[in-house]
């Protein structure tokens, strides 16, 4: 055990060094960003702030993500709010975000690409991915995911360069609706309900996540 201690301390030191201080300010259920883009994002008051992490995602992008959760009395997540600010590092000048923007919506006057999905939770995830960070943050805060969820991902690109993004992911429990992810798959007992569920999910995301565009001169 003593021989492992130096290696453990080194790992902890490297992990601490990899973390960057956040650029955005959070006060309870509101995150304010002064840049890229300048926005105020308000989540429902019952949502509990699970924390923030900022690091270099896969060594190619500066990633800052914030997480809020609404859970039941057993601390099983019913709704999760994932707000992420990201931009490619100067070392990757060729990189661009390439979202289709075939299905879109507007929040706070900003255009967002929309993609909705459903699926089972508990599968393997890369610990160094943004999703892996969210899972670790949620578990560290004492919460657990339900067996199945559905989510809508909303992405805004703040400028024509397409090297920066604001991503908002809204997640709901399928368990709370009495559904499993397999029920919505082709041939599942509730497969025909997915278009209706998808529309409702997107509408609730727009209602629950309040985005307000701010002048660029505003500072939190």
Distance between CA atoms of 48 and 70, rounded to whole angstroms?
Answer: 6
Residue bearing the bigger pLDDT, 123 or 187 = 187
- Token pair of 84, please? 């992420």
Residue 5 has pLDDT above 90, yes or no: no
Q: Starting at the earlier edge strand, list the strands of the sheet with 104-107.
A: 48-57, 61-71, 77-88, 164-173, 148-156, 110-120, 104-107
Exposure class string for 210-220: b at 16+ Cβ within 10 A, else e? ebeebeeeeee
Residue 149 has pLDDT above 90, yes or no: yes
What's the pTM?
A: 0.89
- Kindly state the average pLDDT of the residues 96-115: 97
Q: What's the first-to-final CA gap in the chain, in angstroms?
A: 47
In 91-202 the beta strands, taken as DSSP E runs, fall at 104-107, 110-120, 148-156, 164-173
- Kindly state the average pLDDT of the residues 204-217: 91
Residue 155 has φ and ψ, to the nearest 5°, of -125, 130
Based on the number of CB atoms within 10 Å of its own CB, is 106 exposed (0-12), middle (13-18) or buried (19 or more)?
A: exposed
CB 43 within 8 A of CB 212: no
Whole-number pLDDT of residue 2: 47
pLDDT digits (tens, 9 = 90+) for 21-66: 999 999 999 999 999 999 999 999 999 999 999 999 999 999 999 9
pLDDT band, very low/low/confident/very high, at 67 (cuts 50, 70, 90): very high
- Token pair of 22, please? 């956040």
- Kindly state the average pLDDT of the residues 194-213: 97
Whole-number pLDDT of residue 79: 98
Strand partners, 43: none
Kindly state the percentage of the chain with pLDDT values over 70. 89
Whole-number pLDDT of residue 127: 81
Residue bearing the bigger pLDDT, 9 or 118 = 118
């Amino acid at each position: 055990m003593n021989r492992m201690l130096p290696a453990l301390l080194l790992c902890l030191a490297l992990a601490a060094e990899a973390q960057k201080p956040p650029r955005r300010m959070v006060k309870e259920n509101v995150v304010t960003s002064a840049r890229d883009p300048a926005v105020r994002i308000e989540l429902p008051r019952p949502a509990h702030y699970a924390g923030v992490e900022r690091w270099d995602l896969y060594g190619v992008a500066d990633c800052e993500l914030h997480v809020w959760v609404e859970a039941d009395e057993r601390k099983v997540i019913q709704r999760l709010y994932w707000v992420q600010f990201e931009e490619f590092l100067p070392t990757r000048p060729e990189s661009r975000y390439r979202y289709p923007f075939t299905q879109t919506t507007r929040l706070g006057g900003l255009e967002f690409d929309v993609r909705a999905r459903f699926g089972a939770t508990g599968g393997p995830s890369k610990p160094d991915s943004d999703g892996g960070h969210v899972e670790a943050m949620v578990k560290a805060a004492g919460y657990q995911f339900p067996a199945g969820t559905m989510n809508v991902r909303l992405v805004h690109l703040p400028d024509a360069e397409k090297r920066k993004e604001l991503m908002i992911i809204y997640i709901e429990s399928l368990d709370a609706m009495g559904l499993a992810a397999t029920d919505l798959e082709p041939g599942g007992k509730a497969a025909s309900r997915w278009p209706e569920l998808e529309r409702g999910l997107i509408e609730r995301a727009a209602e629950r996540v309040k985005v307000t565009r701010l002048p660029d001169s505003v500072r939190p």
